[in-house]
Amino acid sequence: MGLLQPNDEDFMRDAYREAEKAFEKDEIPVGAVIACNNQVIARAHNLTEQLKDVTAHAEMQAFTAASDYLGSKFLEECTLYVTLEPCPMCAGAAFWSRIGRLVYGAEDEKRGYTLYNENLLHPSTKVKSGVMANESKTLLQEFFRKKRK
Amino acid sequence: MGLLQPNDEDFMRDAYREAEKAFEKDEIPVGAVIACNNQVIARAHNLTEQLKDVTAHAEMQAFTAASDYLGSKFLEECTLYVTLEPCPMCAGAAFWSRIGRLVYGAEDEKRGYTLYNENLLHPSTKVKSGVMANESKTLLQEFFRKKRK
């Protein structure tokens, strides 16, 4: 890659690797990273089953870790990459963090925040969707297929 | 009180005491408790400034603590008492927890979940509002008056 800056696909690939870690732990495979100045400052994957904690979505852990790293609860200069469209809980947390950008992969047709109210996000947060959407959706489908067996 | 069971006001008074602790720490004064079988199993107050973490709302901490206590991420038999109407993040967490009842005090005219979509909560969650609303609202007003000085 030489001196090339990483792009959205590169960061989403990092988030996807986190989703794969969740898959291996028998968790619904969703992964997230937060990048700031082209550097990943937080990575996390869904751990709701292992921690028995509904708040342990990948995004929530990533917000906490990124704020801890930066020493700031606000993340205006950061981008959240997440393999699945955030739910209202995670979109609500994104609002409070004032995150600069949200980039997500697959749409969540059951609990995606856009199904409830697009204004759940902060008005200053820019949104991009569909990055590596197929891969992320396939991983989720594979997980639920395995669970039904 | 003798053999009387505690009622919603009693539990809300516990939540209010948590809000007072937040006030003393210069945090926006919101407190929460979760009760199960007429017993408080989790108490928490807003710590977003101290922890520099937007996810550290009273309710979020209470969900995590209650699930840890019960060893279950689901809280169908529990009631969340919180001094202020939950925001979408906390309502979204309440959805995932399937909490049996939500009892809140003051309305949040800026970020209350009902302003966005009442279906943010789980359809099986019963809601009661306005319990100790005046006291909780007064505490919040006092906090913001002090901040503006």
What are the per-10-residue average pLDDT scores of chain B (149 residues)?
A: 81 98 98 97 98 98 98 98 98 98 98 95 98 98 93
The reply to whether A59 belongs to the active site is: yes
The pLDDT of residue A3: 67
A119 secondary structure, DSSP code: G
Residue type, B91: A
pLDDT at A5: 84
Please state the ipTM of this predicted complex.
Answer: 0.95
pLDDT for B149: 80
Write out chain A residues lying below 8 Å of B49, CB-based.
Answer: 73
CA distance B124 to chain A (A): 16
- Confidence (pLDDT) at A2: 56
Helix (H) or strand (E) holding B129: strand B126-129
Distance of CA A11 to the CA centre of its chain: 11
Q: Copy the structure tokens of residue B34.
A: 């979760």
Which tokens is A43 given? 């990575």
Partners of residue B95 in chain A, C-beta under 8 Å: 88-89
Provide residues of A within 8 Å CB-CB of chain B: 48-49, 52-55, 60, 63-64, 67-68, 71-73, 87-93, 95-97, 116-117, 119-120
**Cβ of A117 and B117 within 8 Å?**
yes
Confidence of residue A77 (pLDDT cuts 50, 70, 90): very high
pLDDT at B2: 55
pLDDT band of residue A4 (cuts 50, 70, 90) is: confident
Q: What is the pLDDT of residue A149?
A: 80
* Segment B109-112 long-range contacts (CB within 8 Å, at least 24 positions apart): B111/B87, B112/B85, B112/B86, B112/B87
Give the pLDDT score at A87. Answer: 98
- Average pLDDT along chain A: 96
Question: Order of strands across the sheet with B78-84?
Answer: B39-45, B31-36, B78-84, B101-106, B126-129
The whole-number pLDDT of residue A52 equals 97
Indicate the burial class of B100 (C-beta count within 10 angstroms; 0-12, 13-18, 19 or more): middle
Q: Identify whether the C-beta of residue B67 lies closer than 8 Å to the C-beta of residue A54.
A: yes
pLDDT of residue A47: 98
The model carries a pTM of 0.96
What is the tens place of the pLDDT at every residue in A78-110? 999 999 999 999 999 999 999 999 999 999 999
pLDDT for A17: 98
Give the helix/strand (H/E) hosting B82. Answer: strand B78-84
Q: Exposed e or buried b for every residue in B38-75, given b needs 16+ CB within 10 A?
A: eebbbbbbbbbeebbbbbbbbbbbbbbbbbeebeebeb
Residue B131 backbone zone (phi > 0: left; psi -120 to 50: alpha; other: beta):
beta
Beta strands per DSSP E along A25-136: 31-36, 39-45, 78-84, 101-106, 126-129
- Say if the Cβ atoms of A89 and B92 lie within 8 Å: yes
Check CB contact under 8 Å for A88 and B92: yes
Copy the structure tokens of residue A75.
């993340």
Q: Do A52 and B72 touch (CB under 8 A)?
A: yes
CA A18 to each of CA A69, A124, B35, B55, B101: distance values in angstroms, whole numbers, following the listed order: 19, 27, 35, 21, 34
Query: Which of chain B's residues have a Cβ under 8 Å away from the Cβ of A117?
Result: 88, 116-117
pLDDT for A136 equals: 98
When pLDDT is averaged across residues A2-20 and rounded to a whole number, the result is 92
Structure-block tokens of residue A143: 């997980």
CA A5 to chain centre: 21
Size of chain A, expressed as the number of residues it contains:
149
Round to whole Å and give the CA distance between A112 and A133.
14
- Residue pair A147/A27 in contact by the 8 Å Cβ criterion: no
Which residues of B fall within a CB distance of 8 Å from A120? 88, 116
Query: Is there a contact between B106 and B85 (Cβ–Cβ < 8 Å)?
Result: yes
Mean pLDDT of A22-44: 98
